[in-house]
Structures are given as structure tokens and as C-alpha cells.
Structure 1
């Protein structure tokens, strides 16, 4: 298995999960961010370019204000 494959990485759970089981987990890859559903970690992974991920997070924080 390739060391850069998301399944071999350390996954972090969203700090907004609230413990109700509806969570996403993220891990960093070379130049990208991988996202998966914590309830179904083997169901698939979404890989997003780091710059697009930063734009996504910025849009979330601006919509919360």
C-alpha cells in the first residue's frame, strides 16, 4: 500500500461533530486534503486540492459571521 493513500494516514474528526456520530474526518496528503465519512470510513474518500480546501473553509467561516 502506498504511504500516501488516505487509508494509511492519521484521520482527524471535525471539532464540530458534537459526538452524535454525524462526522467527517480529514487527513493531509501531499498537496491535497482527503475527507471521509466517519460512520463509513471504507465507503470512499473525497480528495480536494489544498487551495480549494482553504477556499471552502474560508467560505464557511464567512457564512457563520
Structure 2
């Protein structure tokens, strides 16, 4: 699948430590959630199915992974 991210608006995680060590996501792409490393904004982006990304975020919010 190819998604044009050239005009994407990226937002950092609210858990960002302010030193660039976090992920950024871009909303508004039908069926997918683009994710990239905030330390390398010109680098590659991963595309996750939107439903899978929502399930992941919900699991994180409910501390289902514990501390890693």
C-alpha cells in the first residue's frame, strides 16, 4: 500500500520526553495510521491498519503491557 505523506501533519505523543525520543503519528489517512520516529522525521514511516493502531493505543492506556 502506498500513501502520500508529503503533506502530512504530524503530532508527537503526549508522552514525549521533550528530547525527541518518541513517535509521531499523522491523522486523516483512510484505513491506516502512519507512524514515524520523531528523531528522524525524514526517515521512513510505518503504516499500521487503523483498527490495529486503536487497539494498541487502548492497550497502552490500560497498562496491558506493564513496564518494558
**TM bucket normalised to smaller:** 0.7 to 0.9
Counterparts of 1:17-56 in structure 2 under 5 Å? 17-28=16-27, 29-56=29-56
Residue 23 (structure 1) shift: 1.7
TM-score, normalising length: structure 1: 0.81
Separation of aligned partners in 1, 2:48 and 2:63: 21
Separation of aligned partners in 1, 2:59 and 2:31: 20
TM-score, normalising length: structure 2: 0.78
Structure in which a larger fraction of residues adopt helix: 1
Structure 1 ranges of 4+ moved more than 2 A: none
Uncovered stretches (5+) of structure 1, i.e. residues with no partner: none
For the aligned residue pairs, the C-alpha RMSD in angstroms reads 1.8
**3-state SS of the aligned residue for 1:6?**
coil
Uncovered stretches (5+) of structure 2, i.e. residues with no partner: none
Residue 7 (structure 1) shift: 3.0
